[in-house]
């Protein structure tokens, strides 16, 4: 680094870095620093030790086992913490490459461990800097991300029951390196950072130097884009929430729904915006553009009796009786259970019963209503085989289960999964929809209120 460029770098001090974060740091029940032993996390740990008593800090080093130098890095991290009087902890993880790649799998493993170690009320500090932000925005731009993606790395976000902050995010890497050199800090270099087969490394090693040569202030420009994208994302999210509030939103079995007539009156741009943000409002990843197109062009125009749906690994979008449904899709099973053993489950109602599709049965005692249960040991849970008939309480005649489920407006995707309750081969109740005639608890006597918790498809 030459003298002229060094003068242009912002000065980094502990007071400046943590000016906006000290109230959160002081209030945190646990302070956890993700400590790889590299430049950024080493600078972060050194700066934090200037404003926080070292005994309050825990540095967590995650041993990925992906490099022949991993053991040496762990030893170096331990020595740094010992010199600072900071508690050092380490965890080893086994990385299995997923469809998203090795980097994504390693990142997911790290954050899972961070969340586990923090518990509730903790604070995780990570050393991401402005160069990381530039790489993230460029990477997401090339992948066709929208405003939320181009907003880049957030300076803070929730992490389970705790919070994550990145105090160094506005500082370029060169600033961190100058601080480290001036304070004679020692850090490790990950040799994999030079391997250009990884997309982010290629951006860092090949593309960014070209940008820096042509546009010396490229970092500031990209950071402004990230901030403007963040604001655009917040606006689009607010519009989606306002539109959703006008569409009779409801919590449903396994998800949520909105009224289609109102949705179809929205202009196309707002329909697309609502579909993109609806899953995020409910804590799920946003819909891709291709899925939004499929919903608008295929699912919505489909015949009413075709039971249309658009499926992603973690969710389904379905349509039924003038409502659009967004449903969690976590179970690997579809339809009703297949084996004879699964088709007949014994249950006395005392303890929750996990059904073969992952949903749950619970029950609570009630007086003057619910299922009459003279002998709890005689109750069995089964699923549809076809041809079942029953007579709900309050009805004059029996009817086929197929017809009754339609009349009770149970959505088609639940009809093969609805639990059926039998006593001595007699159908006595259907899910938590109805009790059959002759099996309801009488006034003053105790009954069993069944709760069918359908958390996901």
Establish if 51 belongs to a structural domain: yes
Shared domain check, 214 and 169: yes
Residue 333 belongs to some domain of the structure = no
Residue 6 pLDDT more than 90?
no
Angle at the Cα of 358 from the Cα atoms of 356 and 362, rounded to 5 degrees: 95
Residue 58 shares a structural domain with residue 8: yes
Lowest mean pLDDT among 35-39, 132-136, 340-344, 416-420: 340-344
Average pLDDT estimate for 74-83: 96
> Does any domain span residue 235?
no
| 341, pLDDT greater than 60 | no
340 — pLDDT class (breaks 50, 70, 90): very low
C-alpha span between 315 and 282 (Å, rounded): 11
> Which of residues 178, 195, 230 is at a domain's end?
230
Residue ending a domain, among 200, 230, 260, is 230
- The predicted pLDDT at position 78 comes to 96
Q: What is the pLDDT of residue 2?
A: 41
pLDDT band for 373, please (50, 70, 90 cuts): confident
- Flag whether 125 is in a domain: yes
**Are residues 318 and 381 located together in one domain of the fold?**
no
Residue 99: band (very low, low, confident or very high) from pLDDT cuts 50, 70, 90: low
- Beta strands 399-400 and 389-390: pairing type? antiparallel
| Average pLDDT score over residue span 174-202 | 92
- The DSSP secondary structure of 416-427, one letter per residue, reads TT--EEEETTEE
Q: What is the mean pLDDT of residues 15-39?
A: 95
Residue 384 has pLDDT above 70, yes or no: yes
Are 344 and 432 within one domain? yes
Contacts of 269 (CB under 8 A, 6+ apart): none
Q: Are residues 308 and 358 in the same domain?
A: no
Structural domain includes residue 88: yes
Residue 339's pLDDT is: 46
Would you say residue 336 has pLDDT above 60? no
Q: What angle do CA 381, 385, 387 make, to 5 degrees?
A: 115
CATH number at residue 115: 3.40.50.620
Give tens-digit pLDDT for 38-64.
999 999 999 999 999 999 999 999 988
Could you give the number of structural domains in the chain?
3
97 and 164 part of one domain: yes
CATH of residue 255's domain is 3.30.465.60
Task: Give whichever of 11-15, 119-123, 230-234 has the largest mean pLDDT.
Answer: 230-234
Q: What is the mean pLDDT of residues 4-27?
A: 83
Is 8 a domain residue?
Answer: yes
Q: 53 and 187 in one domain?
A: yes
Domain boundary among 299, 328, 357: 328
Residues 6+ apart with CB under 8 A from 436: 390, 391, 392, 393, 427, 428, 429, 430
Segments forming the whole domain that contains residue 349: 340-453
pLDDT of 337 strictly over 70 = no
- Kindly calculate the radius of gyration of the chain based on its CA atoms and give it in whole angstroms: 29
Query: Which tokens in the block code for residue 55?
Result: 């005994």
- pLDDT for 400 equals 96
Contact by Cβ (8 Å): 354, 425:
no
> What's the CA gap between 33 and 123, in Å, rounded?
8
């Amino acid at each position: 680094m030459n003298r002229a460029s060094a003068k242009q770098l912002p000065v980094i001090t502990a007071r400046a870095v943590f000016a906006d974060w000290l109230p959160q740091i002081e209030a945190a029940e646990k302070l956890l620093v993700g400590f790889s032993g590299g430049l950024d996390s080493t600078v972060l740990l050194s700066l934090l030790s200037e404003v926080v008593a070292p005994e309050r800090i825990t540095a967590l080093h995650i041993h990925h086992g992906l490099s022949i130098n991993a053991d040496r890095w762990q030893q170096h991290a331990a020595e740094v913490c010992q010199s600072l009087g900071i508690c050092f902890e380490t965890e080893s993880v086994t990385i299995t490459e997923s469809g998203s790649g090795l980097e994504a799998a390693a990142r997911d493993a790290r954050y899972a461990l961070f969340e586990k170690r923090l518990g509730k009320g903790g604070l995780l500090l990570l050393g991401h800097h402005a160069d990381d932000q530039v790489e993230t925005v460029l990477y997401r731009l090339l992948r066709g991300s929208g405003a939320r993606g181009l907003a880049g790395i957030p300076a803070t976000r929730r992490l389970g029951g705790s919070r994550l902050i990145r105090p160094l995010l506005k500082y370029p890497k060169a600033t961190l390196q100058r601080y480290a050199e001036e304070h004679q800090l020692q850090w490790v270099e990950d040799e994999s950072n030079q391997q250009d087969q990884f997309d982010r490394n290629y951006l860092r090693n090949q593309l960014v130097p070209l940008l820096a040569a042509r546009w010396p202030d490229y970092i500031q420009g990209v950071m402004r884009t990230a901030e403007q994208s963040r604001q655009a994302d917040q606006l689009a999210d607010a519009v989606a929430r306002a539109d959703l509030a006008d569409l009779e939103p409801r919590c449903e079995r396994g998800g949520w729904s909105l009224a289609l007539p109102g949705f179809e009156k929205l202009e196309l741009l707002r329909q697309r915006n609502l579909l993109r943000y609806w899953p995020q409002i409910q804590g799920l990843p946003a819909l891709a553009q291709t899925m939004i197109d499929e919903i608008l062009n295929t699912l919505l125009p489909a015949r009413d009796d075709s039971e249309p749906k658009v499926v992603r690994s973690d969710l389904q979008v379905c349509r039924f009786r003038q409502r659009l449904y967004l449903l969690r899709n976590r179970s690997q099973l579809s339809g009703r259970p297949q084996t004879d053993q699964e088709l007949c489950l014994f249950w006395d109602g005392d303890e929750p019963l996990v059904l073969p599709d992952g949903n749950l049965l619970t029950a609570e005692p009630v007086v003057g209503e619910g299922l009459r249960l003279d002998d709890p040991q005689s109750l069995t849970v089964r699923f549809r085989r076809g041809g079942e008939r029953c007579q709900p309480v309050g009805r004059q005649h029996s009817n086929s289960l197929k017809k009754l489920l339609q009349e009770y407006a149970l959505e088609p995707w639940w009809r093969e999964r609805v639990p059926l309750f039998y006593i001595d081969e007699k159908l006595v109740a259907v899910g938590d929809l109805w009790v059959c005639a002759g099996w309801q608890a009488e006034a003053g006597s105790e009954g069993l209120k069944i709760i069918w918790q359908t958390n996901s498809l």
